Amino acid sequence: MTDQVTTQEVLTTADGVPLKISLKRAMRKKMITSLLLVTPLFLFILLTFLMPITDMLLRSVDNKIVGELLPRTIPLFSGWDENGQELPGEDIYRAMVEDIKEGAEAKTILRLGRRLNFERSGMSSLFRKSARTIKRIEQPDSYKAAMIKIDKRWGDINLWRLIKRERGSFTNSHFLSAIDRQSNDDGTIGPKPEYKQIYIKLFVRTMTLSLLITFMTVLLGYPISYLLATLPTKISNMLMILVLLPFWTSLLVRTTAWIALLQKEGVINDLMVAIGIISNDHRIVMIHNKTGTILAMTHILLPFMVLPLFSVMKTIPVSYMRAARSLGATRFTAFRRIYLPNSIPGIGAGGILVFILAIGYYITPELVGGVSGTFISNMIAYHIQGSLNWGLGAALGTLLLMLVLALYILYDKIVGIDNMKLG
């Protein structure tokens, strides 16, 4: 009796192995195969995407350099109250002297100067000067006095407060800078001085211009896609080549062509002067400003709108419009109530594609944007290549990434990602 119950409970295959186990065994083989199939791509993505991104995210808060180069000074800071009015004690000065001496020998101390210079100008020169002259300090009566003698900034309590604040291996200062804020000397967080506030403005501009560009590509791309989707395949394939033609020429060439067209002495201005629409002295400035960026980027990103739109429209059967017409709708009503709603997924897909591409665009704004048409990515590039403030560059990049993700989630909430079709 009990025997029967157990055989009923544990199903076995013909050779007596429990069904679940043999099923698992069969599945394992499958799983190993699929794992092997994914591995190369996974490794590639890990190496070329995940690792760099993580590195960038970490760089935006990384502050190990301070702890590494001031190994004696940092631990002593706990014995000093930065909120009081007293300068640090003799022990801290002494440790600082030793740290700088060692750093000067190893020629690493200038890196620390450069790092702290991002927080407060003059730090770089202070450390350079101190490193040069610190050898003179040998067994003084007072290390404090000796240092202040080298440079009286060592007697500035705010400088010490700054060093104490930045002692940890992580810092929020890059992120604060990225949103135009700073840590005040008293430790509170406040806005940067007006003339130094640039990033928020740039973020806003990047967003609004990207939105505008996306809107323009919809405006221009929709009719074209509609035409392509309704024409016979033979003709539409040919026209499609024309749409894709821009892809075949280098981005740089296309952007430069825009410069040739739009600049003050360019083709369009020349034409308008020749026809007499404008006078020679009133040539229109169309490039190296917002207009330039909008025009050139709309052109460059247009195919990314047309392709998803086209592929969605291609799937809308002709019979929908015909049904609507036969039911009594005018051409316009049929379009508005039937065709348009069915093509929304294409607009969504194209829109997100263009917007995300635009928001991170670099070359075109750099070449044709002038001052008023640059994007946040141009600033990131500047910090990576020019000012070498990688931390701030990384913080800006991270913010940009989060912004895109946030918008993506917002889009998902409003439109629904399932509603997006790329083909």
Partner 1 sequence: MPENNDSLVRFTNIQKSYDGETLVIKDLNMDVARGEFLTMLGPSGSGKTTCLMMLAGFEPATHGEIFLNDQPINNVPPHKRQIGMVFQNYALFPHMTVGENLAFPLEVRKMRKNERKQRIKKALDMVQLSEFEHRRPMQLSGGQQQRVAVARALVFDPELVLMDEPLGALDKNLREQMQFEIKHIHEQLGVTVIYVTHDQSEALTMSNRIAVFDDGIIQQLAAPDILYEKPENAFVAQFIGENNRFLGKIVEANDVSCQVEVDGGGLVHAKSVNIAGVGKRATLSLRPERVVIQPPEGSLPNIFDAFVKELIYLGDHIRTRVDVCGHNDFVIKIANSATHATLKRGDVVRVGWEIEDCRALDPSD
Within 10 Å of residue 55's Cβ, how many Cβ atoms? 11
C-beta of 125 vs 330, nearer to partner 1: 330
Report the nearest approach of partner 1 to the CB of residue 333 (Å).
6
Q: What's the closest the beta carbon of residue 342 comes to partner 1, in angstroms?
A: 6
Q: Write out the two tokens for 355.
A: 């917007």
Report in angstroms how near the CB of residue 328 gets to partner 1 at its nearest. Answer: 5
Nearer to partner 1, 330 or 387 (CB): 330
Integer Cα distance of 356 and 354 in angstroms: 6
Contact 178, 57 (CB under 8 A): no
Tell the residue number behind the tokens 């791509």, with chain if given: 41
As a whole number of angstroms, the distance between CA 56 and CA 249 comes to 32
For the chain, report the end-to-end CA distance as a whole number of angstroms. 60
Q: Between 52 and 423, name the residue whose CB sits nearer to partner 1.
A: 423
Q: CB of 409: closest distance to partner 1 in angstroms?
A: 24
CB of 318 to partner 1, least distance (A): 9
CB of 222 to partner 1, least distance (A): 18
Burial of 107 (0-12, 13-18, 19+ CB in 10 A): exposed
Bridge partners for 183 per DSSP: 189
Other beta carbons less than 10 A from residue 356's beta carbon: 16
DSSP, collapsed to helix, strand or coil, labels residue 191 as: strand
Per DSSP, the three-state class of 182 is strand
Query: From CA 48, how far away is CA 41, in angstroms rounded?
Result: 10
The 3-state DSSP class for residue 183 equals strand
CB of 231 to partner 1, least distance (A): 15
Please say which residue, 196 or 336, places its beta carbon nearer to partner 1.
336
Nearer to partner 1, 69 or 338 (CB): 338
Cα separation of 51 and 23, whole Å?
37
Q: How far apart are CA 233 and CA 273, in angstroms?
A: 43
Q: Closer to partner 1 by CB, 226 or 362: give it.
A: 226
Ramachandran assignment for 10, one of left (phi > 0), alpha (psi -120 to 50 degrees), beta (any other)? beta
Pick between residue 136 and residue 331 the one whose CB is nearest to partner 1. 331
By C-beta, is 16 or 328 nearer to partner 1?
328
Compute the distance between CA of residue 107 and CA of residue 123 in angstroms, rounded to an integer: 16
Interface ranges with partner 1 (CB under 8 A): 317, 319-320, 322-331, 333-334, 337-338, 341-342
